Amino acid sequence: MNKSIAALISATFATVMLSNTPLMAQVVLPVGLPPGTHYQLIFLTYDVFTTPTDGNIADYNTFVTTEADQNSTLAGLDVQWHAVVSTATTAANVNAPSSGLVYDTAGDELASPSTTLYSGTLLYPMDGYDQNGLTDGTLEDYPLFTGSTQTGGISGYPVGGNPFHTEMGLTGLSGGAEWLDDGNHNINQTEQDAVYALSAPITVIPEPTTIGLVAIGLLGALTIRRRNA
């Protein structure tokens, strides 16, 4: 076969394959924050938790940590992750405390020191972005397990409590408390739903300055010269 024709076929095949490859969003970390600033990330798990009849908070924390580790950006942050759920003995605002800046995985600011995550109001709607920075029509107005009141306390229907009723949250176009408390829902004992994952505080690290990079380069050059002397 003529090499030019073979190359053309190969390039065409590659183009077709790329066009059929689904585009993947990326986690967007907040930008423009001064060095030393602390913030947290929150996401809705892509996968679902086994059952709301589990009242062990450690199981929920393990689940959301496993979800976060599926994304290399989140795993690289090297922080702990906690489930925003309330059991009969542990409130969400205790298991996953928050009092400052909170961003979703699309880079939207949801909470601040003056409008905290558990204040009953959000600065931006909780649109259901998962650990890969993705959301779609199936996540809009998406119910999930929380077991919590509007302020992150233990509701009358915590997870692991009544096997047929659990307090649920609701993602979607709302900046109110529905993201955490949309009322108690009738469920069956085998129902599976997603949960929110909240990171421990992340500290903004200053980027290397030009002067610092030049100094590192000069130090490396001097080290090489000494070794070769």
pLDDT (tens, 9 = 90+) of the chain, 229 residues, equals 444 444 433 443 343 333 343 345 689 999 999 999 999 999 999 998 777 788 999 999 999 999 999 999 999 999 999 999 999 999 999 999 999 999 999 999 999 999 999 999 999 999 889 999 998 655 556 788 899 999 999 999 999 887 678 888 888 766 788 999 987 676 656 677 889 999 999 999 987 654 444 445 555 555 555 555 5
The answer to the question of residue 196 being in a domain is yes
Amino acid at 150: Q
The answer to the question of residue 30 being in a domain is no
The answer to the question of residue 229 being in a domain is no
The answer to the question of residue 9 being in a domain is no
Q: Which residue has the tokens 């259901």?
A: 128
Q: List CB contacts of 32: < 8 A, sequence separation 6 or more.
A: none
The reported pLDDT for the residue numbered 70 is 95
Q: Which residue has the tokens 């605002």?
A: 93
The answer to the question of residue 167 being in a domain is yes
Range of the domain at 113: 38-203
The answer to the question of residue 62 being in a domain is yes
The reported pLDDT for the residue numbered 182 is 87
Our count of domains for the chain comes to 1
The reported pLDDT for the residue numbered 135 is 84
Residues 185 and 77: their CA atoms lie apart, in Å, by: 35
Give the CATH number of the domain where residue 65 resides: 3.10.100.10
The answer to the question of residue 119 being in a domain is yes
| 43: nearest Cα among 22, 21, 25 | 25
Q: List CB contacts of 14: < 8 A, sequence separation 6 or more.
A: none
- Determine the distance from the C-alpha atom of residue 131 to the mean position of all C-alpha atoms in its chain, rounded to a whole number: 5
Phi-psi region of 107 (alpha: psi -120 to 50; beta: other; left: phi over 0): left
The answer to the question of residue 20 being in a domain is no
Radius of gyration of the chain (CA): 23
The string of DSSP letters for 166-201 reads: EEEEE-SS--SGGGT-S-EEE--TT--B--EEEEPP
| 104: nearest Cα among 82, 122, 126 | 126
DSSP state at residue 139: T
DSSP state at residue 221: H
Q: Is the pTM of this model over 0.75?
A: yes
